[in-house]
Structure 1
Amino acid sequence: MLIETQDTRVLFFQDELKDEITPEYFDGAYWQRNNAIIGSAFGRGITWFFKINHDEFVLRHYHRGGLIGKLIKDAYFYTGLESTRAYQEFVVTQKLIDKGLPAPKPIAGQVIKKGLFYQADLITQKIEGANDLVAVLKDRALANDDYKQIGAMIRRFHDVELWHADLNTHNIILDGDGKWWLIDFDRCKFKSAADSWKKANLARLQRSFVKEKNKDSAFKWQSSDWDLLLAGYDN
């Protein structure tokens, strides 16, 4: 990773992008002006999907959640670059990739310091043909083997002691080739090899399945499918 400081702005990016990354890369309007936007998603803020030549990317701005997010939308207390959420997510995700895990490659990030606070953005590689698990299950039921593959995929992350801060059905992705991925490593960290947090992590995912089923009857999931996922996890 290379780090470049420009007054109150800090950019960090993959080494091979030394002569390419500029502050404009973190501005959705810049990609709109260049007719590079291929889609967007709305959550706490706008996530932009853009394309350069044949490569597709995701641009995400960090927003706070909960009650504090209504008061302080996207500002975080600055205690150094290494403690910022964008930098930490970049580092954690790259370590996962280095271990051969199915996570989207981090491309570049920026932190803008404003007094005692900072704002941040992150660009990652877009997974080709990506659909999250919620969208898939609203379209069709999964085969038994799919649930086992999802469970086995999560086990791989747990085996390297990765605690996912927001393990839910929206962060499990199916690509165009039928491969399952895990995304969104904001606030994730490597923990000690204790089973208790792993069980809690799985319980969080199970609650996400139940929540989506209660929200939409078109969500093609049933409680017995959870047993299939656990079978894949335990094998």
Structure 2
Amino acid sequence: MKIQQIDKNRYLVAVDKYRDKVTKDWFDPEQLRRNDEIIGQSVGRNTTYFFQKDEQRFVLRRYCRGGMVARWIEDSYFFLGIKKTRAYREQAMLQKMRELALPVPEPVALLISKKGLSYRASIIIRLIKDSQDLFHILRKRALTDSEWGAVGNLIRRFHRQGVYHADLNIHNILTNHDGAMWLIDFDRGRFVEPNATNLESNLSRLKRSLEKESRKWPQFHWRAPDWELLMKGYQQSSGQND
């Protein structure tokens, strides 16, 4: 990935495939809207935009803090160099995982805006076509036994490669009508030793996510025995997906 300085305080880093295509305007929601390229958005901690360029669809996400600190510092971070920014680390991690044939979104580019000792950042990835996260699926229907097993198997594929997901929850697991599955949002993720014991915290976090949403929504198709199906898929040792 080549770091391109576009003005005094901004740096654009695109993967090789998109180096000659992406410009700073791709990171400007208002410009995308003026171009009639916004095709949707998702509002959570911040707004994620879905947009289209040359019949290709992308996701634009700005990095924002969570927890108590977000009340005072929403989206700025201490600057220690481009390669140490959260955006650069996530984009590099996505590239590495794709080299390992793990099902993650295709990285496109990132933009760093530096101001004094702090920076703000946004990242663009390819939109995974015709996919939904598990949260929205479970609001509509229950997963089959085999689907729960596939979720567990998916997570194990990543753990066998030493991938630690810092925020594994049901919003970050996608699937489509063909049963293919992906993990997304690797902000603060990292590589550790394959099958390291601290990877088990990913599973605990995912279980808490399911329990939280099942308490929150009367119409939510998850029950405690489903976790056993997921763990059965996780514990399988066939290795057919590695």
SS at match of 2:61: strand
TM-score, structure 1 as length reference: 0.97
1:224 maps to 225
User: What does residue 160 of structure 1 align with?
Assistant: 161
Partner of 2:99: 98
**What's the offset of the Cα at 1:194?**
5.3
* Displacement after TM superposition at 1:196 (Å): 2.1
**CA–CA distance in structure 1, aligned partners of residues 119 and 193 of structure 2:** 30
Structure 1 residue 117 displacement after superposition? 0.3
Partner of 1:5: 5
For structure 1, the residue ranges without an aligned partner over 5 or more in a row are: none
Alignment of 1:42-61 (within 5 A): 42-61=43-62
- How far residue 16 of structure 1 moved from its aligned partner, in angstroms, is 2.6
After superposition, residues 145-224 of structure 1 pair within 5 angstroms as 145-193=146-194, 195-224=196-225
- Number of residue pairs the alignment of both structures matches: 235
Corresponding position: 1:73 with 2:74: yes
The 10-residue stretch of structure 1 (62-71 or 143-152) with the greater mean CA deviation from structure 2: 62-71
Q: Percent identity?
A: 42
- Once the 2 structures are TM-superposed, how far is the Cα of residue 124 of structure 1 from its aligned partner? 0.3
| Partner AA of 2:12 in structure 1 | L
Structure 2 distance, partners of 1:153, 1:193, is: 15
Q: Cα gap change, 1:176/1:183 in structure 2, threshold over 3 Å: closer, same or farther?
A: same
Secondary structure at the residue paired with 1:165? coil
193 and 20 in structure 1: CA distance in 2 versus 1, 3 angstrom threshold: closer
CA shift for structure 1 position 3 = 1.7
Q: Are 1:107 and 1:123, in contact at CA under 8 Å, matched by a contact in 2?
A: yes
Which segment is superposed worse, 77-86 or 198-207?
198-207
Preserved CA contact (<8 Å) 1:175 1:181: no
Question: What RMSD over aligned residues (CA atoms) do the two structures have, in Å?
Answer: 1.1
Q: TM-score, normalised by structure 2?
A: 0.94
Deviates more, 1:1-10 or 1:57-66: 1-10
Q: How far apart are the structure 2 equivalents of 1:43 and 1:147? A: 26
- 1:217 maps to amino acid: P
Q: What is the distance in 1 between the residues matched to 2:204 and 2:56?
A: 36
Residues 131-156 of structure 1: CA deviation (Å, up to 9, x unaligned): 11010001111110001111101000
> Following superposition of structure 1 onto structure 2, how do residues 8-27 of structure 1 map, counting pairs within 5 Å?
8-27=9-28
Following TM superposition, the consecutive aligned residue runs of length 4 or more in structure 1 with deviations greater than 3 angstroms are none
